[in-house]
Amino acid sequence: MPFQLRRRRPAPSQTAPAQMNLERPSAQDIYEQVANNARQELGRTGVALFISGIAGGIFMGLSGMGNAIAIALLTPAGVAPTPSTLFIAKMFYPLGFIAVILGRSQLFTENTLYPVALVLAEKQHLWKTLRLWIIVLSANVLGAAIFATLASFTSALQPEFVSTLAMLGAETAARPMATIFWSGVVGGWIIASVAWLVSGSHSITGSVMIIWMLAFVVGLGGFAHCIAGSGEVLTAVFVGRAIPAAFPHWLFAAVAGNICGGVGMVTLIEYGQVVYGGDAEAEALPAAPPAAAHVSIRPSEKDGE
């Protein structure tokens, strides 16, 4: 039996207790929400996607900027940052992800989950998905370039903040291509997992915690993210800390890794869980009947005994 997405979920009963509407969603519920989100995104015009993607690229600059500012403030001049300083600074890395995901701006790595889930479920929309990827990735990179231009060529940021941001970008771009790719696989897997879990969250507070915790791991582990890292690497290029060829070299490996991580390690796994794993057809086992009460009855004494 082919898997079918439910286009509309039944509205909750007005008389049902509020807590019943907050029960844990099934994997199929999340998958349907993800696919419905994709259907909305694929239906948007190219102009709308491009503008939203530029905004997403600019907002993702908050990740590198927050990280760089914290390192610069906690590290004396001429001294390398300590592991404790780096740990504290990475707590600000999720800022860009929170702003973009909750603000519903377009982010390329989110779109390695949403439209692919719909393509797998309905066996169509492949070309629309490729169109979405091209538009959003181009717009995200342009937005990151706008952020890097603002940081590098204006006095918006203090010089020590720009220097630290460029240092982070130069270190990121100097990694071997294979390292960038495989760290991008992990980064794409984690951020696509964020999109999956946020789709099943019932509250803004819960969504913020999910984004913060998982994006913090991406920053702490130094895993490549093609948009969050673009602002850092481009800043390094603009201020002369990295050669111009370093950016396309780094971007290609990071994008390839993010796609493999997002599509391969999340979408296909969740698709298998929902469809081939039987979650779509599974029903809860019936509750066990209450155990019969065991009453000990003493035989009545016979008369005369």
DSSP for residue 297: -
- Is residue 53 a contact partner of residue 138, using CB atoms and an 8 Å limit? yes
26 band by pLDDT with thresholds 50, 70 and 90:
confident
In 3D space, the residue among 191, 198, 207 whose CA is nearest the CA of residue 110 turns out to be 191
* 84-136 per-position pLDDT tens digit: 999 999 999 999 999 999 998 999 998 888 888 888 777 788 898 999 999 99
* 207-243 per-position pLDDT tens digit: 999 999 999 999 999 999 999 999 999 999 999 999 9
State the residue range of the domain holding 218.
37-276
Classify residue 130: in a domain, yes or no. yes
Tokens 């971007």 correspond to what residue? 251
279 band by pLDDT with thresholds 50, 70 and 90:
low
Interhelix angle 95-102/177-199, nearest 10 degrees: 50
CA distance 213 to 194: 9
* 37-71 per-position pLDDT tens digit: 888 888 889 999 999 999 999 999 999 999 999 99
Classify residue 19: in a domain, yes or no. no
CATH of the domain at 113: 1.20.1080.10
Computed over every residue of the chain, the mean pLDDT equals: 85
- Per the structure, the count of domains in the chain is 1
CA distance 294 to 7: 50
pLDDT at 79 over 90: no
- End-to-end alpha carbon distance in the chain: 72
Classify residue 18: in a domain, yes or no. no
In 3D space, the residue among 266, 283, 282, 278 whose CA is nearest the CA of residue 120 turns out to be 266
In 3D space, the residue among 129, 135, 124, 104 whose CA is nearest the CA of residue 114 turns out to be 129
Interhelix angle 204-221/177-199, nearest 10 degrees: 170
* pLDDT computed for residue 18 by the predictor: 40
Classify residue 99: in a domain, yes or no. yes
* pLDDT computed for residue 43 by the predictor: 87
Q: Where are the alpha helices (DSSP H) in the chain?
A: 27-42, 46-59, 61-74, 83-89, 95-102, 114-122, 126-153, 159-173, 177-199, 204-221, 228-238, 246-259, 268-271
Query: How many Cβ atoms from other residues are within 10 Å of residue 24's Cβ?
Result: 7
Q: Give Dmax (Cα) for the chain.
A: 113
- Is residue 255 a contact partner of residue 188, using CB atoms and an 8 Å limit? no
- Is residue 270 a contact partner of residue 117, using CB atoms and an 8 Å limit? yes
DSSP for residue 272: I
pLDDT at 171 over 80: yes
Classify residue 284: in a domain, yes or no. no
Sequence-distant (≥ 6) Cβ neighbours of residue 195 within 8 angstroms: 34, 101, 109, 110, 113, 114
- Is residue 229 a contact partner of residue 223, using CB atoms and an 8 Å limit? no
DSSP for residue 108: T
pLDDT at 16 over 50: no
Classify residue 31: in a domain, yes or no. no
Classify residue 53: in a domain, yes or no. yes
CA angle 44, 48, 53 (to 5 degrees): 110
Higher pLDDT, 1 or 39: 39
Q: Is 169 left (phi over 0), alpha (psi -120 to 50) or beta?
A: alpha
10 band by pLDDT with thresholds 50, 70 and 90:
very low
pLDDT at 304 over 60: no
Classify residue 297: in a domain, yes or no. no
pLDDT at 295 over 60: no
* pLDDT computed for residue 15 by the predictor: 43
* 125-167 per-position pLDDT tens digit: 889 899 999 999 999 999 999 999 999 999 999 999 999 999 9
Query: How many Cβ atoms from other residues are within 10 Å of residue 110's Cβ?
Result: 26
13 band by pLDDT with thresholds 50, 70 and 90:
very low
CA distance 185 to 114: 17
> What is the separation of C-alpha 65 from the centre of its chain, rounded to a whole number of angstroms?
19
12 band by pLDDT with thresholds 50, 70 and 90:
very low
